[in-house]
A and B are shown apart, each in its own frame.
Chain A
């Protein structure tokens, strides 16, 4: 076969960046695990926080044990990684290549909703389990039916909005906030999905959206939006934003001393960057995700992650990603061989021992109550606050004034 010059160049570069070195192997003495992920391009920021560190951590742990336990024997794992350059065609090509040429035994998913939807048909066609933990889509239940090999750990946008609206409705009934909400959203996948669900959710619960604006990706100045929210008189400010915008919005709110009683910002609020950057000013700010401060498994996971990568994981998808990898490992070991149909069956029906305790999926998704949908910075810890349950803490109101 011939390889185009650019492709060769890209492949050489990807190899250079690769942490894992691919070596020719005899099939039986190794298990090949491959993934295509955004190491460059606009998705790299997210992939490098939520996903790649988890893959590296898990592969290292498995190999430190001697490998996956298959048929009473430890078989070491070999990792093959490609850069999809944040491009869905590239991701599809890389996944196909992993399956047909590298002949990997198992695949790990790419980062983000868009790319996971793009590679879904390939995973399905070849019958590989797809355990996504960076994809949020309202189609998740339908997709799980159409592609029974796909698992959607982050669930639907609806579930997050329902949890948020429930939380705010209680505050409003207690007379602590008014019924007005100012909402801004990035004009891209995440912002569009979440703001659409929020528009419905807030409307049904009797909240009034006094501001509802979207802005293009890459907007570098948030002050007009923050000023408008400030003038709107809403007690609740919700931003479905991407990491650079999340930081800029919070910065601008602080500069303008805009302190709504409830402040909810988008992706990035749960990144380790956020408390580093804002310190005590992060207190009270909310976003998707959240951890249980009392959970020993979470604490242990965080410790391992920091030991290997010198930084905290993200407080939303990271831990669920690690849970999904633990489940995959246990499912393979229970099946005792690389029988992907049996592994999928085990993932669908089995109960697994994870950092979040006993974990069992229902319809290929974690059921409500297994992890928190909405969290809030409380005493320097991103604490889960909704949906209410034994693993969440009460929400703190109002957001502390800026320091």
Chain B
């Protein structure tokens, strides 16, 4: 029973991490607090639903279409909608406030478009909902896949950000955009890349969770909230932090549901969130100089 709870918790946590990774890039590097994040995730779910049911394209192949498309769209959103805010903002805090307002508007636009196309009804499809036996525990293949993607993306991007030149440039922008300019980093370009990468990640998350979650045009805010908790818990802009925080949340929820009471999962989530905020306000992996 312990192994079962452990594995279930890890898969759930992997999903949370997956959903949060894009936001940590967008918020941590591009300094855009993207409130339309969940809507873009759901838009990716709808796209893959449409590709799967209308064109018969498997969701995994759909990733190859949707992730690049989401990156292009995010890039455009950044260049057209957000660059004027970046130019205008005197400080990073001002940019955060402005971006919250702008993406709050974007939330309604994306949601409205989805409502017009798909209506408000629930959507769901079945893909890879087959049992896989891991250490004697039965887990759905699609959930395992989401966990694997979260781990691979998280570790690969973490490696890319810490071990490559381009990654180091991105991190430099996250730490200090003004000084980054002094060492010939194109800050605006780096921020746009981070925002587009984040857009691609959120689309990957949307595609993967649509395999096992039922969604409709109004459900985006649920993901934004969860992602926000994971990002803040893990440390803003830190992918490893998102992975670890996601796993902590997933394990907590599953352990509480298994041994205490399923009704207390939300309370446990927020209790852990609160404790971490009290003990480490900068997040598990965040730097304290922020």
Q: Is B120 an interface residue (CB 8 A)?
A: yes
A-B pairs with CB below 8 Å: how many?
Answer: 118
Partner of B262, one of A48, A225, A243: A225
- The reply to whether A45 and B253 contact each other, CB–CB distance below 8 Å, is no
Q: Is A254 an interface residue (CB 8 A)?
A: yes
Q: Is A214 an interface residue (CB 8 A)?
A: yes
- The reply to whether B122 and A219 contact each other, CB–CB distance below 8 Å, is no
Q: Name B155-175 residues within 8 Å CB distance of A.
A: none
Docked Cα-Cα span, A221 to B119, in Å, equals 25
- The reply to whether B119 and A48 contact each other, CB–CB distance below 8 Å, is yes
* Closest beta carbon of chain B to A138's beta carbon, Å: 22
Chain A hits for B112, CB < 8 A: 13, 16-17
Q: Name B110-124 residues within 8 Å CB distance of A.
A: 111-112, 115-116, 119-124
- The reply to whether A213 and B263 contact each other, CB–CB distance below 8 Å, is yes
- The reply to whether B262 and A219 contact each other, CB–CB distance below 8 Å, is yes
Chain A hits for B124, CB < 8 A: 244, 247, 273, 277
Q: Is B140 an interface residue (CB 8 A)?
A: yes
Instruction: With CB as the reference atom, state the residue of chain B lying closest to A48.
Output: B120
Q: Name B209-266 residues within 8 Å CB distance of A.
A: 212-219, 222, 250, 253-254, 257-258, 261-263, 265-266
Chain A hits for B130, CB < 8 A: 255
Stretch at the interface among B4-12, B73-81, B191-199, B200-208: B4-12
* Closest beta carbon of chain A to B132's beta carbon, Å: 9
Instruction: With CB as the reference atom, state the residue of chain B lying closest to A39.
Output: B120
Q: Is A4 an interface residue (CB 8 A)?
A: no
- The reply to whether A224 and B257 contact each other, CB–CB distance below 8 Å, is yes
* Closest beta carbon of chain B to A266's beta carbon, Å: 13
- The reply to whether A268 and B122 contact each other, CB–CB distance below 8 Å, is yes
* B residues apposed to A, CB below 8 Å: 1, 4-5, 8, 11-12, 15, 108, 111-112, 115-116, 119-126, 129-131, 138-140, 212-219, 222, 250, 253-254, 257-258, 261-263, 265-266
Q: A223-B8, A278-B126 are in contact. Are A39 and B115 (CB under 8 A)?
A: yes
Docked Cα-Cα span, A314 to B108, in Å, equals 28
Cβ contacts A to B, 13 pairs, < 8 Å: A17-B116, A41-B218, A44-B217, A44-B218, A47-B120, A48-B119, A187-B263, A221-B8, A221-B11, A227-B4, A243-B214, A268-B214, A273-B121
Docked Cα-Cα span, A39 to B114, in Å, equals 12
Sorted nearest first, the 5 A-B pairs with minimum C-beta distance are: A44-B120, A48-B120, A244-B214, A224-B257, A215-B262
Partner of B108, one of A13, A184, A227, A255: A13
- The reply to whether A273 and B123 contact each other, CB–CB distance below 8 Å, is yes
Q: Is A252 an interface residue (CB 8 A)?
A: yes
Q: A221-B254, A224-B8, A277-B125 are in contact. Are A252 and B140 (CB under 8 A)?
A: yes
Chain B hits for A214, CB < 8 A: 262-263
Main secondary structure of the interface of A (DSSP, over half): helix
* Closest beta carbon of chain B to A308's beta carbon, Å: 13
Docked Cα-Cα span, A377 to B122, in Å, equals 20
- The reply to whether A251 and B216 contact each other, CB–CB distance below 8 Å, is no
Instruction: With CB as the reference atom, state the residue of chain A lying closest to B261.
Output: A213
Instruction: With CB as the reference atom, state the residue of chain A lying closest to B253.
Output: A221
- The reply to whether B131 and A40 contact each other, CB–CB distance below 8 Å, is no
Docked Cα-Cα span, A98 to B110, in Å, equals 28
Chain B hits for A220, CB < 8 A: 12, 15, 213
Q: Is A42 an interface residue (CB 8 A)?
A: yes
Chain B hits for A16, CB < 8 A: 112
* Closest beta carbon of chain A to B192's beta carbon, Å: 29
Residue from A45, A187, A218, A268 having most chain B Cβ neighbours under 10 A: A45
* Closest beta carbon of chain B to A12's beta carbon, Å: 11
* Closest beta carbon of chain A to B33's beta carbon, Å: 20
Residue from A41, A184, A223, A256 having most chain B Cβ neighbours under 10 A: A223
Chain B hits for A273, CB < 8 A: 121-124, 214
Q: Name A191-245 residues within 8 Å CB distance of B.
A: 213-216, 218-221, 223-225, 227-228, 243-244
- The reply to whether B265 and A219 contact each other, CB–CB distance below 8 Å, is yes
Chain A hits for B250, CB < 8 A: 221
Chain A hits for B258, CB < 8 A: 224, 227-228
Docked Cα-Cα span, A389 to B112, in Å, equals 45
Partner of B138, one of A47, A228, A255: A255
Chain A hits for B218, CB < 8 A: 40-42, 44-45
Q: A40-B111, A224-B8, A254-B129 are in contact. Are A215 and B257 (CB under 8 A)?
A: yes
19 further A-B contacts with Cβ under 8 Å, apart from A48-B120, A227-B1, A257-B138, are: A17-B116, A38-B120, A40-B115, A40-B218, A215-B257, A216-B265, A219-B262, A220-B12, A220-B213, A224-B257, A224-B262, A225-B262, A244-B214, A244-B215, A248-B212, A251-B140, A257-B131, A268-B122, A273-B214
Chain B hits for A187, CB < 8 A: 263
Chain B hits for A247, CB < 8 A: 122, 124, 214
Docked Cα-Cα span, A220 to B143, in Å, equals 11
- The reply to whether A224 and B214 contact each other, CB–CB distance below 8 Å, is no
Q: Is A288 an interface residue (CB 8 A)?
A: no
Chain B hits for A271, CB < 8 A: 122
Instruction: With CB as the reference atom, state the residue of chain B lying closest to A309.
Output: B119
Q: A16-B112, A40-B120, A215-B257 are in contact. Are A221 and B12 (CB under 8 A)?
A: yes
- The reply to whether A45 and B120 contact each other, CB–CB distance below 8 Å, is yes
- The reply to whether B12 and A218 contact each other, CB–CB distance below 8 Å, is no
Q: Is A49 an interface residue (CB 8 A)?
A: yes
Instruction: With CB as the reference atom, state the residue of chain B lying closest to A86.
Output: B218
Instruction: With CB as the reference atom, state the residue of chain B lying closest to A85.
Output: B218
Instruction: With CB as the reference atom, state the residue of chain B lying closest to A215.
Output: B262
Q: Mark A161-180, 1 if CB is under 8 A from B, else 0.
A: 00000000000000000000
Chain A hits for B131, CB < 8 A: 255-257
Docked Cα-Cα span, A255 to B111, in Å, equals 32
* Closest beta carbon of chain B to A219's beta carbon, Å: 7
* Closest beta carbon of chain A to B171's beta carbon, Å: 31
* Closest beta carbon of chain A to B265's beta carbon, Å: 6
